A = this chain, B = another copy of it.
Amino acid sequence: MFFASDNAGPVHPQIMDRVLRANDGFALPYGNDPIMDEVRAAVRQTFEAPDAAVYLVPTGTAANALALATYCQPWNTIFCAKTSHIQVDECNAPEFFAGGAKLILVGEAEKMSPDTLRAAIEMQDPTDVSMAQRGPVSITQVTERGTVHSLDELQALNAVAKDYGLPVHLDGARFSNAAVALGCSAAEMTWKAGVDVVSFGGTKNGCMGVEAVVFFDPSKAWEFELRRKRGAHLFSKHRYLSAQMAAYLEDDLWRDIAQLANDNAAYLAQGLTERGITFLHKVEANMLYPLIPRAVHRRLDTAGARYERHAGLEGDADALISARLVCDWSISREDIDRFLSHF
Please report A residues at the B interface, Cβ cutoff 8 Å: 2, 4-5, 7-11, 16, 19-20, 23-30, 57-62, 65-66, 73-76, 87-93, 95-103, 105, 129-133, 203-204, 208-209, 223, 225-227, 229-237, 240, 306, 328, 330
Contacts and interface: CB of A to CB of B under 8 A. Distances in A.
Nearest to A306: B26
B20 A16 contact: yes
A109 to B, nearest CB: 15
A29 B58 contact: no
Given A73-B226, A74-B99, A92-B102, 10 more contacts: A8-B28, A30-B129, A30-B130, A57-B232, A90-B230, A91-B226, A93-B231, A102-B103, A209-B240, A232-B233
Contact of A236 (B7, B27, B101, B240): B7
Nearest to A331: B26
Given A133-B226, A237-B203, A26 B8 contact: yes
Contacts of A101: 92, 95
B25 A10 contact: yes
Contacts of A203: 236-237
A90 B237 contact: no
Copies per complex of this chain: 4
By CB atoms of chain B within 10 A, which of A30, A208, A330 has the most? A208
Contacts of A90: 130, 229-230, 232
A25 B133 CA distance: 32
B130 A89 contact: yes
Contacts of A2: 25-26
A29 B16 contact: no
A10 B23 contact: yes
Nearest to A133: B226
A14 to B, nearest CB: 12
